[in-house]
Amino acid sequence: MLAENRTALPTEGNHAGRALHPGLRQEVACRPADEDGSLWWHWVWSGPTRDAPDELEPLRPADELTAVADKITAVLALRPENES
């Protein structure tokens, strides 16, 4: 699944902006955890080489939907430049 903050996209007619700044988005996947097979949400990152498999970073257990949504929202949020 691709989580995306559509407010971060350049305007529709701004072709250069869309090519250079595709917006804030991150792939997430619900997969079994390594240890016991329980389902977890994971961030999906590309592997170190083009032909390497994707790497999964555990995010939260699958049944913690509100916490997962809150984390994704925080990571993909636009922040004013003066906030740290």
pLDDT of residue 8: 65
Residue bearing the bigger pLDDT, 26 or 18: 26
String of b and e for 10-45 (b: at least 16 CB within 10 Å)?
A: eeeeeeeeeeeeeebeeebeeeeeeeeeeebbbbbe
Beta-carbon contacts of 39 under 8 Å, excluding residues fewer than 6 positions away, are 30, 31, 32, 33, 61, 62, 63
Lateral strand order in the sheet of 39-45: 2-5, 24-32, 39-45, 55-61
pLDDT of residue 76: 82
H helices present in 1-84, as ranges: 15-20, 65-75
- 69, pLDDT greater than 60: yes
- 9, pLDDT greater than 50: yes
Domain ranges of the chain: 2-8+27-75
**Average pLDDT of 49-75?**
91
CA 39 to the chain's CA centroid:
18
Q: What is the pTM (predicted TM-score) of this model?
A: 0.68
